[in-house]
Amino acid sequence: MMSWQAGALLLLGGSTVLLFIGMPVAIAFLAINIVGALLYLGGAVGIEQIVRNSVIAVANFSLTPIPLFVLMGEILFHTGLALKVIEGIERLIRQVPGRLAVVTVVAGTVFSAISGSTIATTAMLGSLMLPVMLARGYNPVMATGPIMAIGAVDMLIPPSALTVLLGSLSGISISKLLIGGVVPGLLLSVAFVAYIVTRVLLNPKLAPATEVEERTGWAKYELLVLYVIPLISIFVVVIGAMSGGIATPTESAALGAIATMALAAAYRALSVKALVTSLRGTVTISAMILFIILGATTFSQILSFSGTTEGIVSTIFNHGLSKSEILAGMLLLLIFLGIFVDQVSMMLITLPVFMPIVQRLDIDMVWFGILYLICMQLGLLLPPHGLLLMTMKGVAPPQVTMGHIFRAVVPYIAMSLLLLVLLIAFPAIATWLPALIG
């Protein structure tokens, strides 16, 4: 029998190497699982166990909100309702320094509350707001930063597919995780707006002021009343049903998806083409996530069977480190991994080892879950492989270079790190709303 150190090197090291060389996440974990099953689960019997695990993993009812949350976002983008939200918010915001960047952050926050996909939010705001900002003389660094930063906040503000996945893989209450992300997410949005206004006040050349068409009366509030408030009401329905104990996260997600489709139909925006495109997008994204989950269940089981999980946990506790030192080490490892691998891979590599440590240290699970989400959100923005940096480059005009994009995210990464420190110092920021509602 191999030692747990050899098991750790083979399983954790092997999966990390495969991800580093660019192998798709699902395939990488499938390959490692087959090797692990042959070594630790008794050869052919182990392969049969992988198949059984796959069926059980995908049949897990707690994962049902993922496709429903993704569908909500897809419908908003493909029916054009998202455009109406941006326009409605733009009419409300008066002449402030960096006005279009501020509009982007506020609109992105609203999308976070009605869409479950960080990439979709970034791609949409990038393709709609970036050309307008560049045409009005905005510095590419000032124009791209807020779009990527607010796209990452989408992970914290429900509905969020990645939050559901984190809750499902870690055993943390999904509804408490979803509700716990609201306050930190809104704090980041406010910090982003404050930074943009201050930065442009200090250097007006970054975002030249442009004439704003001042609307009064009904014209100013028309889109807010007709589009923004009804769409925000979906967020209220989803969170209200979940927090009031009226519905489970799955039922709340179904309510949200039905409400989104009903609103799109009421606005006569839900064409057959838009619906088919939305469903296709949902199937593609959900299938990818579910295929990854297949690997996750078996991977954590093999880690446990090989003695790797217990070996790592015992080694950490035998070093006599304090609770805060162990927590800091886990968070630093997450931020480091975020530079190289995507969010789902981070969960698959770390959760089988981290959760036994969290339980043994008696750390508040919801608080740890929110800290974990912020580390994942940082991973979306960290150069060189941050997913939202790649998304931004994909939708940006040629004059926006990777250099601009890398420089643009630095202040927003600093603000996210500051929030992480604040949450460690004051856990109530993450836990008081779930406790209040729960």
For position 121, what pLDDT does the model report? Answer: 82
Q: Describe the crossing of helices 323-340 and 343-361 by its angle, rounded to 10 degrees.
A: 170
Q: Kindly report which listed range (93-102, 141-150, 192-201, 384-393) carries the lowest average pLDDT score.
A: 384-393
Q: Are 360 and 313 in contact (CB under 8 A)?
A: yes
Helices (H), 341-401: 343-361, 365-381, 387-395
Taking Cα atoms as reference points, which of 277, 344, 376, 331 lies closest to residue 78? 277
Provide mean pLDDT across the span 397-425.
94
Return the H-helix or E-strand segment holding 220: helix 217-223
Other Cβ atoms within 10 Å of 78 Cβ, number: 23
Provide mean pLDDT across the span 291-303.
76
For position 183, what pLDDT does the model report? Answer: 94
SS3 68: helix
Domain that holds residue 302: 4-437
Which residues have a Cβ under 8 Å from the Cβ of 77 and sit 6 or more positions away?
115, 120, 124, 278
For position 144, what pLDDT does the model report? Answer: 95
Higher pLDDT, 415 or 155: 415
Higher pLDDT, 11 or 192: 192
Proportion of the chain in helix, strand, coil states, percent, rounded to 5: 80, 0, 20
For position 126, what pLDDT does the model report? Answer: 87
Q: Does residue 20 carry a pLDDT above 60?
A: yes
Q: How confident is the model at residue 116 (pLDDT cuts 50, 70, 90)?
A: low
First to last CA, the chain: 47
Provide the CA 243 distance to its chain's centre, in angstroms: 21
For position 88, what pLDDT does the model report? Answer: 85
How many whole angstroms separate alpha carbon 199 and alpha carbon 232? 30
Give pLDDT tens digits for 254-278.
998 999 999 999 999 999 999 999 9
For position 273, what pLDDT does the model report? Answer: 94
For position 236, what pLDDT does the model report? Answer: 85
Q: Could you give the number of structural domains in the chain?
A: 1
Higher pLDDT, 215 or 159: 159
35: number of CA atoms within 13 Å, CB side?
14
Phi-psi region of 245 (alpha: psi -120 to 50; beta: other; left: phi over 0): left
Kindly tell me the burial class for residue 213, based on how many C-beta atoms sit within 10 Å of its own C-beta (0-12, 13-18, 19 or more): exposed
For position 298, what pLDDT does the model report? Answer: 78
Q: Does residue 139 carry a pLDDT above 80?
A: yes
- How many percent of the chain have pLDDT more than 70? 98
For position 438, what pLDDT does the model report? Answer: 64
DSSP state for residue 63 in the 8-state scheme: G
For position 1, what pLDDT does the model report? Answer: 56
154: number of CA atoms within 13 Å, CB side?
33
For position 9, what pLDDT does the model report? Answer: 87
State the chain's mean pLDDT as an integer: 86
How many whole angstroms separate alpha carbon 382 and alpha carbon 339? 6
* Beta strands, E only, 104-232: none
Q: Are 263 and 234 in contact (CB under 8 A)?
A: yes
Q: Are 77 and 124 in contact (CB under 8 A)?
A: yes
How many whole angstroms separate alpha carbon 3 and alpha carbon 319? 19
Provide mean pLDDT across the span 142-152.
93
For position 14, what pLDDT does the model report? Answer: 86
For position 326, what pLDDT does the model report? Answer: 92
How many whole angstroms separate alpha carbon 138 and alpha carbon 130? 9
Query: If you average pLDDT over each of 110-119, 143-152, 310-319, which comes out highest?
Result: 143-152
53: number of CA atoms within 13 Å, CB side?
23
Which residues have a Cβ under 8 Å from the Cβ of 84 and sit 6 or more positions away?
223, 226, 227, 228
The reported pTM is 0.84
Tokens of 342: 């995507």
Cis, bond preceding 159 (omega within 30 deg of 0): yes
Taking Cα atoms as reference points, which of 155, 103, 157, 111 lies closest to residue 130? 103
Cis, bond preceding 384 (omega within 30 deg of 0): yes
Give pLDDT tens digits for 29-86.
888 888 988 888 888 888 887 788 777 777 777 778 888 888 888 888 888 888 888 8
Which residues have a Cβ under 8 Å from the Cβ of 80 and sit 6 or more positions away?
269
Q: Describe the crossing of helices 402-425 and 365-381 by its angle, rounded to 10 degrees.
A: 170
Give pLDDT tens digits for 316-362.
888 888 899 999 999 998 888 887 777 877 888 889 889 999 999 99
Query: If you average pLDDT over each of 11-20, 119-128, 276-285, which comes out highest?
Result: 276-285
For position 375, what pLDDT does the model report? Answer: 93
As a dihedral over the C-alpha atoms of residue 258, residue 262, residue 263, residue 268, rounded to 10 degrees, the angle is 140
Q: Are 174 and 165 in contact (CB under 8 A)?
A: no
Taking Cα atoms as reference points, which of 69, 63, 126 lies closest to residue 281? 69
